[in-house]
Every structure is written in structure tokens, then in C-alpha cells.
Structure 1
Amino acid sequence: MTEELPLFPLQTVLFPGGLLSLKVFEARYLDLAGTCLREKRPFGVVALRKGQEVRRSGQDEPGAVVLEDVGVMAEILELDGAQPGILQLRCRGTRRFRIGRTRQRADGLWIGEVEILPDDEPIAPAEAVHETVRGLANAIASLKGKGVEPFEAPYRFDDAGWVANRWCEILPIPLAAKQRLMELPDARVRLALVDEFLRGQGVVK
């Protein structure tokens, strides 16, 4: 089954269960936010393989923007419109999707024909990566100590997919690597790769 989904291309990778703050000022995205709030519908966040999310002038040139094939739906949690012409959005990632055809409306908004991908099955982290699970708990405590709340509660340390996704969000790795990790259908494999990276960096022993 496929459906049409408005797309918000960004220089970032959203993960299911992740939080995303957006500053929206272009007309196409102001309209998108209003429609999604009014109709209680999600929009799709997709990483840019090439190009930029802000239109420079007129219609984007053909081939100037290339989107990744897999993105994540986002639902708006909070909206702040205190500044005229600017919206501050706080969003949460929900489900992954694969993009088939895309088209760009006259106002520049991308629309994708998407297929919803299966969610990670809830599965406990393997015993071999328990230090990586503990490492995430320590990282959260450290960030909280600095007044930063990076993730939405409840914290699901018993879920391999949740642990892997949260690590992927804060690791200093290239955008393309985050994209490939997000796309992996097996949560335990995703967490094992994160564990391997952390051990290689000496973060986990």
C-alpha cells in the first residue's frame, strides 16, 4: 500500500522516536505546518543526498535536489508562533517510509508517493551490548546535568531499536552513515554496529 505524503527535506536524519526542532519561515512549510495541525496528519522528513532545503529563487533547478530513498514521518508536538512569519515546531519521529515517485508543486513543496515500512520489533538488547546500553544511560545523565533533555521519556533501555536510535542521534558520524543505520530493518544489527563504533572509539570497553 502506498500513500502521498508531503516531504520536508533536511540536512539531518530523523529516527523513529526521535525529537526534532524546526524553524519554519518559507511559505510552503508554513502552509504545510498549518495543514498538518488542522488535519492532525504527519509529514515526512527526508535527508538530502544533494542540494539544500531552502529555495534560493524561483523553482529549484532540475537535479539540484536529490532526496534519500527512506525517511521518517514526523508529528507536530508543539508550535510556537510568537514571531510574525516564523513558526518554531517541536516534532517527534514515528514511522519509516520508502519513497517511490516524487513531484514538486508550484510552491516548491515536495510530495512523495511512499510505502510505510515495518516498525522495529521490540526486542531486548543482546547481552554482548549491555555496556553500550549502560553507556547511553550515562550519556543521558551527563546531558541532563548540563540542562539538556535530548530524548523523550519513557526511556526504553530494554528495547534494542530504541537504544540504537538514540545513540545514532548523538554520535558524531556522517549524515550518510546515520541514514544507512536508520534504514537497517534489523534493530539488533543496528545496535551491534553502534556498539562496534563505540568500542572502536574507546567509549565502551
Structure 2
Amino acid sequence: MFPLQSVLLPGEPLPLRIFEPRYVALVRDVMATDRIFGVVLIARGREVGGGDVRHDIGTAARVLDCESLGAERFAVRCEGAYRIRINKWLEDDPYPRADIEPWPDEPDDRVLPLSALNELQARIEDLLRRVATVQQVRLPRRWSIATGLPSGAEKRLYALASRVPMGQADRYAVVAASTLTARVAALNEAVDTVNAMLDFRESER
């Protein structure tokens, strides 16, 4: 397990610089087996040194490339693969470990309408245009958030979430949502939060 101070979403890239001895050992073991390790958000504490308190929902990360930088250091390029749920934390020896299981979205009697996805996508695109205006960034005339989005509701939602400039608590709410419908609601709340922050900034000018 690799506790971080940020949330990894399925499908999202994760570049890492590994230098702490316990995570050097983790990388060596992972590369010798299936190239998969778990990533969870730290609730309290720091990444380096241990003693942190961790959340129990996370993401399995798949190592795509691992480059030795010498002197027991590695540059590791990973990607979020699928959600995991921690059943039990084990002793941190020689690195954080846990008994985990994959956690796919739970069955939901409510069918997620395509219109809800499209509406959310439009809201996120409007938000990103607003952020660009605030930051004085000029977007291409035909820019669209739809470019490069994967097919399938689950992958599409995670890809949309990765584009929203939200805080880690909101990102965790997205990854911890038990159903697609709940994930849409979490993302809409995150968009509301970012818009409210922009409203506040504009009111102070």
C-alpha cells in the first residue's frame, strides 16, 4: 500500500519519485510480481516517516514503467486501475500493507440516464471555461472537454472527475461513491463548491 496526500482516480496517471527505503522495498516487490499496489488518501499525517491515519477506500495502481535513478531511487509511472476497499490494515513491515478486495460499483436499481451524464459534462466544461477566464488563459476556439473522453459511464465519470480542480475531500467523495448515481451527485457537489469559491473571489475584487 502507498498512502498519499492525494486521491488517485481509476484511469488517472500517477508519476512517483521513490526514495524512502520502505517504498524502495515496495517497488522492488511490486516489480517482481504483478506490478500492482494500492493507493489510499492519508486522513491525517504525512507521506514520509509513517504514523499516518489512512482512509479505507482507495485505488489499485498499475506500474507502467519503472526507471532506476541510481542510489536507491526510482522514477515510477503508474495509472489508476480499479477501486479497492481495505478490509484490514496489517503491520507496516517492511512497508504499509493491507488485506484488500476490489470494490466495483454496487448494483443500483436507478438507471443513470444519459442526460444526467451529458448535463454534468456540460457543467464541468462551463466551469473549466470560467477557471480559464479567471486565470487569463485563452482556450482554443473549438476546445471541448469531450475530446479524449473514454466510452462507458464509469470510465467517463472518472475522466470527467480528473478534470475538475477540486480539493482532495471532494475527490475522495467521488472515488468512495458506491454507485454511478452517487458519483454523479458527488461530482455535481464538487462543481458547486468550485463555482462558489470563484464567486467569492470575484466578490472580493
User: Do they superpose with TM above 0.5?
Assistant: yes
1:115 to 101, 105, 114: 101
Name the residue aligned to 1:133. 121
For residue 33 of structure 2, what is the aligned residue in structure 1? Answer: 39
Instruction: Work out the CA distance in 1 between the residues paired with 2:47 and 2:118.
Output: 38
Query: Are residues 1:167 and 2:160 paired?
Result: yes
The whole-number CA distance in structure 2 between the counterparts of 1:171 and 1:25 is: 30
Checking the alignment, whether the CA contact within 8 Å between 1:125 and 1:159 is kept in structure 2 is no
2:63 to 52, 76, 79: 76
- 1:3 maps to none
When the two chains are superposed, the root-mean-square deviation of aligned CA atoms in Å is 3.1
TM-score by length of 1: 0.72
8 Å Cα contact 1:124/1:159 also seen in 2: no
Distance 2:70 2:124 in 1: 36
Q: Distance in 1 between matches of 2:58 and 2:8?
A: 7
Corresponding residue SS for 2:97: strand
> How far apart are the structure 1 equivalents of 2:164 and 2:53?
24
Query: 1:35-114 to 2 correspondence within 5 Å?
Result: 35-55=29-49, 60=50, 64-107=51-94, 109-114=95-100
Counterpart CA distance in 2 for 1:188 and 1:85 is: 44
Distance (whole Å) between structure 1 residues aligned to residue 189 and residue 97 of structure 2 = 37
Cα distance, 1:103 vs. partner?
2.4
Rounded Cα–Cα distance in structure 1 between residues aligned with 2:103 and 2:165 = 26
**2:69 alignment partner, SS class:** coil
Secondary structure in 1 aligned to 2:47? coil
Q: More relative contact order in 1 or in 2 (CA 8 Å, sep 6+)?
A: 1
Structure having the higher Rg = 2
**Counterpart contact for 1:129–1:195, Cα < 8 Å:** no
| Structure 2, gaps ≥5 residues long | 141-146, 199-205
Q: Which runs of 4 or more aligned residues in structure 1 lie more than 6 Å from their structure 2 counterparts after TM superposition? A: 135-139
Letter in 1 for 2:17: K
Q: 2: CA distance between counterparts of 1:195 and 1:68?
A: 22
Q: Is the 8 A contact 2:40 2:55 kept in 1?
A: yes
User: What is the Cα deviation at residue 27 of structure 1?
Assistant: 1.4
Identical positions, percent: 26
The code of the aligned residue for 1:29 comes to: Y
Residues 176 and 195 of structure 1, relative CA distance in 2, 3 Å threshold? closer
| 1:166 Cα deviation after fit | 2.2
Match of 1:27 in 2: 21
The question of 1:176 aligning with 2:172 is answered no
Q: How many residues align?
A: 178
List alignment gaps of at least 5 residues for structure 1. Answer: 1-6, 147-152
Name the structure 1 match of 2:202: none
C-alpha distance in structure 2 between counterparts of 1:105 and 1:192, whole Å: 35
